[in-house]
Chain A
């Protein structure tokens, strides 16, 4: 066994040392794998970042109520009467003064200008009550102050401030029938709420002609995840044509829409991977052809065909892995931590950060490994089956 390993090692060393003779072709194969891995990881990092933003947005101890059948907050409508009825359901936490702990909220779309491209896109503006602020955990005002009730003041999420122009502290923006003053910047630890503008719900109702209707109702649950009391009331009261879910479940479902991006990324990765595979096969077949005399000479000396096989296979894997590592590095350097905004389920912009996890990097390297193994396997088989007589044909 040791002798066999020694043979394999010798062949590997010879193959690797002879790489400069096939420099450009080897570099081309490596580059192809680099591009494949970098593109795949970029897609996965985007999807991963978006999913994490949405999944980090929802809480298990908050229920979200929307009109039955509405796909998002934007196309939901809930009247004040429905809000009042549902607020009497069991399972709702109480505030310090014994009132049901909920926030009826509005969700409207306003224009924002992207810093990166200067284009105008939809961004969400949420009308909330002070209870709405309280029932969301992990929120802090990082600059300025909270808006005052009954005024046309807004506070902006940190993601909005980073990605869109015109929302600096103290600036004025025109939405609806009036101008609004930015009085604070809030952070929610990177969740989708950071992509929103918040103002007093009654002001938003008034200035956007919403009468006494809302779009969602957020309810603090007395027991995390337990929405049974709300469901029962909705089922039993024909006036309540509503859907209820935990906030975590709601945003997770929204995030699932991004599954498509993951599959698209893998699809693109696999198609490009096939191209890289063809490159690897070509490179390795050329490598075997150019070393045919050397391989046959070693076989004539007594080296086994197993050593010829593994020597070729390892060369292919090494080239692919180098490409994979460079691709992962490129992706990590240029994509990890990159913050951008894209359209979410409510046709509004969601600010999120590309996130390249260890798992994703591992996937990229794994893909490179597969390309190396498959791309090297058939040429390695050819090397192992090379007739020893080739050594006697020689080359001058």
Chain B
């Protein structure tokens, strides 16, 4: 497998008042294409900041971030938006669906950034909804669906434009165990059957078990599982 992500000596810090807060000083990691990585760690360990940097919504203050052979940490805001549209699908803890759009319209959003025509977009939307077993809910509004169904719509939205990378921020944090397992199985299916590279931030060890490997972050560094707080 080729390295999809390569983080070299990444540093991230910010100034709060007069205090400089350092999240990472010298973080290095590689994520292979087709990997399914769970990132765990206590609050404040830097896992969400890492996910944000991988998704191009936050930029490091030092080091390099390479994606598929191209450096992305120096891209402008506009270039990053295009890069995200082409390569990344986001799955959020609270689904982040647009409450005034039905399921199909929510799933269609990333396709509005492509050159696809209306018919092709509708076809792709229905394919994605079928994959998460919600094709019969296409016309339903988010508030007419359960939390699990909303998260499946969010997964359909994340995969509809066929990105290589799925970034999941506590995707089951707002769901009950049974529903969480359904969602995690769907993610696992996307990884094994469709070769999607998945990076998932989670607090839940049971969720992490669905990943191929788990990285533990503590105070901005990767540590062995036993050392993790």
Contact = CB atoms under 8 A, between A and B. Distances in A.
Interface string B24-51: 0000000000000000000000001001
A270 B101 CA distance: 39
B169 to A, nearest CB: 5
Interface string B102-134: 000000011011110000000000000000000
Given A3-B112, A7-B112, A392-B92, A300 B84 contact: yes
Given A10-B112, A389-B58, A303 B81 contact: yes
Nearest to A15: B100
Contact of B96 (A7, A14, A293): A293
A18 B100 CA distance: 6
Nearest to A394: B94
Given A7-B112, A18-B99, A305 B85 contact: no
A389 B54 CA distance: 12
Interface string B74-86: 0001100110111
B110 to A, nearest CB: 5
B90 interface: yes
Interface of A: 3, 6-7, 10, 14, 17-18, 293-294, 297-305, 387-389, 391-392, 394-396
B93 interface: yes
Output the residue of A302, A388, A395 with the most chain B CB within 10 A. Answer: A302
B115 A3 contact: yes
Nearest first, the 9 closest Cβ-Cβ pairs linking A and B are: A302-B85, A394-B94, A17-B100, A388-B57, A297-B96, A302-B84, A18-B100, A302-B113, A6-B112
Given A3-B115, A14-B101, A297-B92, 7 more contacts: A7-B112, A18-B99, A301-B85, A302-B86, A304-B78, A388-B57, A388-B58
B98 interface: yes
Nearest to A293: B96
Contacts of B48: 392
Contacts of B99: 18, 294
B52 interface: yes
Nearest to B96: A297
Q: Chain A binding site: helix, strand, loop or mixed by DSSP?
A: helix
9 contacts: A7-B112, A293-B96, A301-B110, A303-B81, A387-B57, A388-B57, A391-B57, A394-B93, A394-B96
Nearest to B95: A394
A303 B101 contact: no
| Max count, chain B CB within 10 A of own CB: residue among A6, A297, A304, A391 | A297
B148 interface: no
Contacts of B81: 299, 302-305
Contacts of B169: 392
A7 B113 contact: yes
B221 interface: no
B55 interface: yes
Contacts of B78: 304-305
Nearest to B48: A392
A355 B87 CA distance: 61
Contacts of A303: 81, 109, 113
Contact of A391 (B82, B92, B100): B92
A300 B55 contact: yes
B94 A396 contact: yes
B174 interface: yes
Contact of B92 (A14, A302, A387, A394): A394
B92 A301 contact: no
Contacts of A388: 57-58
A389 B96 contact: no
B90 A3 contact: no
A301 B83 CA distance: 10
Q: Which of B77, B81, B85, B93: most chain A CB closer than 10 A?
A: B81
Contacts of B85: 301-302
Nearest to B110: A301
Contact of A298 (B52, B82, B109, B114): B109
A391 B154 CA distance: 13
Contacts of B58: 388-389
Given A10-B109, A396-B94, A396-B174, A300 B100 contact: no
